[in-house]
Amino acid sequence: MDIRNSTAAATTARTAAAAAPSVTAPPAGLEYGNRGPQVKQLQDALVKLGYMTKDQVATGPGVFGNKTKAAVTKFQGDHKLPTTGYYGDQTHAALKKALAAGGKPPVDGPTKPGPTKPGSFTKPPVISAPSPNSNSRGGADIDTIVLHHTASNNGASDLAWMRNPQSQVSAHYMLDRDGKIYQLVGDEKRAWHAGKGELHGVPTDVNGRSIGIEIVNDGSGKTPFTDAQYKSLTQLVGYLKQEYKVPNNNILGHKDVAVPKGRKSDPASNFDWARLRKGI
Residue type for 233, please?
A: L
d(CA 280, CA 277): 5
- Write down the catalytic residue from 31, 188, 198, 214: 214
Strand residues in 123-247 grouped as ranges (E): 127-128, 134-136, 144-149, 173-175, 181-183, 189-191, 197-199, 202-204, 210-215
d(CA 257, CA 195): 9
First to last CA, the chain: 74
Q: Maximum distance among all alpha carbons in the chain?
A: 90
User: How many other C-beta atoms can be found within 10 angstroms of the C-beta atom of residue 3?
Assistant: 7
Active site residue 188: no
Cα–Cα–Cα angle for 145, 115, 248, rounded to 5 degrees: 20
3-state DSSP assignment of residue 130: coil
Active site residues: 214
